Amino acid sequence: MKIRVKCFAWAKEVTGEDEIDLEVPEGATVADLRESLAERFPVFSGRMESIAVSVNQEFAGEGTPVDAGDELGLIPPISGGCA
Amino acid sequence: MICRITDSPIDMDELTDSLDSPELGGLCTFVGKVRNHSAGQGVTHLEYHAYPEMAEKKMRQVAEEIEERFGVAHLAMAHRVGTLAIGDIAVGIAAASAHRDAAFKACRYAIDRIKQIVPIWKKEFGEDGVAWVEGCAVDAETAEPQKAQNQRV
């Protein structure tokens, strides 16, 4: 199935897109999303552990299911506020 | 309660006025401003980017945590996005309670927590080039922050 993933900050810059479409198997999880992402954009491979995935606006662990209807996002390390 | 991502200048009076109530005797504010230096390098300006819907949701989570921890329910938080100049307000927080101690604690917790879990990104433009400032990578399993290295672009 095809899923649509929002890209932010560094992720938006390296993909050149606000949103990307990825192909994952039926019953896929966040781990499958990452595998598909790294295949399509190898630049993510080296720093995947610093990129969080959000599912419906919540941070999601590797086993979280992802579905075509979910709102998915790639969340690089954040730096809000002001020191 | 105000939990807002905005591309307009932050008005601290609006935040504090929103917490005006006769039972609130202590009101504490934090103003985060754009600084002209970072890690020993000069900074000319910043860009703030956000995932606005999730950011406002996570700000509401911060507010819930503050109510649980400190019993403070009167909060106003605003974070600006877009291109900001040196001295501009990037983030404004106001916390009010009956007495000062809880208000100070709530305000401090709010800014620290925003930097950990609210999806907002800062891009620094300076004499050393351009860099995403990457403070906190979020551990997916725990949804809690871990330290990150800055990413030069």
The string of pLDDT tens digits covering residues A3-36 is 999 999 999 999 999 999 999 999 999 999 999 9
pTM of the entire predicted model: 0.92
Side chain identity at A53, as an amino acid letter? V
Specify which residues B109 forms β-bridges with.
Answer: none
**Integer Cα distance of A39 and A52 in angstroms:** 17
pLDDT tens digits along A43-70: 999 899 999 999 999 999 999 999 999 9
**Integer Cα distance of B16 and A58 in angstroms:** 29
pLDDT at site B153: 47
Spell out which residues of chain B touch residue A56, defining contact as CB-CB under 8 Å: none
Flag whether B142 is in a domain. yes
Domain count, chain B: 1
Spell out which residues of chain B touch residue A59, defining contact as CB-CB under 8 Å: 117, 138, 140, 143
Residue A1, min C-alpha distance to chain B (Å): 23
Q: What are phi and psi of B85, to 5 degrees?
A: -95, 165
Flag whether B152 is in a domain. no
Beta strands A72-75 and A2-7: pairing type? Answer: parallel
pLDDT tens digits along B118-131: 999 999 999 889 99
Flag whether B20 is in a domain. yes
Flag whether B151 is in a domain. no
Flag whether B127 is in a domain. yes
Q: What is the span of the domain harbouring residue B35?
A: 2-146
Q: What is the mean pLDDT of chain B?
A: 92
ipTM: 0.94
Flag whether B54 is in a domain. yes
